[in-house]
Amino acid sequence: MASSSSSSLRISVMLLLSFLATSIVAANFYQDFDLTWGDGRSKILNNGDLLTLSLDKASGSGFQSKNEYLFGNIDMQLKLVPGNSAGTVTAYYLSSQGPTHDEIDFEFLGNLSGDPYILHTNVFGQGKGNREQQFYLWFDPTADFHTYSLLWNPQRIIFSVDGTPIREFKNSESIGVPFPKNQPMRIYSSLWNADDWATRGGLVKTDWTHAPFTASYRNFNANACVWSSGASSCTSQSPSDNNAWLSQEMDSTSQERMKWVQKNYMIYNYCTDTKRFPQGLPPECANANQS
């Protein structure tokens, strides 16, 4: 009996240690991100499970990933600034550095209480952006956490919200359109005051009586190629199942869901803005999946 009890105890201890090890791995904000600015306004809480950014009249705040990535399938859950968030912008994006940088953007433009957030997306290739698409969301992004995802592989970039694709930007290098594929990028996020343009073109200013404004983050996951010392963690010897996203494309169901979002919730599309591009729309706009 004593031996049996001792064996059961050892198994229990091993299971507990295994659980703790798993918990430590899951609590990854400490291991995956650096708090880069804001003088204490960015915080990692709950043993690394939660990250918050705050904004007051003196400063906003931000963080960035420790790793650089060259392609990835990246998820983050965000809960946005509640109440009167007019004038504030919560930016969550991938970017390289320099004048010919690449960038893939989610930006959440705050609004007056009761009015919807605007989700602003953009893609930069070799320093050139101007590829904005904007959406309302079909839920209140301040009431709970929602998952915002970027699938970035050599063929396409897919923006998704709670698993529903909202935008696809295809590689159109064959017609001279730069595509982000050669510059490793870090993940960045910031909460900042942009009341000169963010809400109704700058007509609605930030109401500092509601400060501090806070956005929250959890459940970061990156199934991605980490770039380090000039080499990628993804190799031809990597298990194909783990890297299936590297050649992933949308199936017909996903395409229909994206069309539903774009029909009902898209409020701006650069590919239909003929006044902005009087000399002709950008060449990638001829591809129906860009619009």
The one catalytic residue among 107, 168, 256, 284: 107
Decide: 135 and 267 in contact? Cβ < 8 Å. yes
The CA distance from 37 to 64, in Å, is 10
Q: Which two tokens stand for residue 238?
A: 């990597």
Q: Which of 103, 132, 168, 249 is catalytic?
A: 103
168 is catalytic: no
**Residue 132 a catalytic site member:** no
Residues labelled as active-site residues: 103, 107
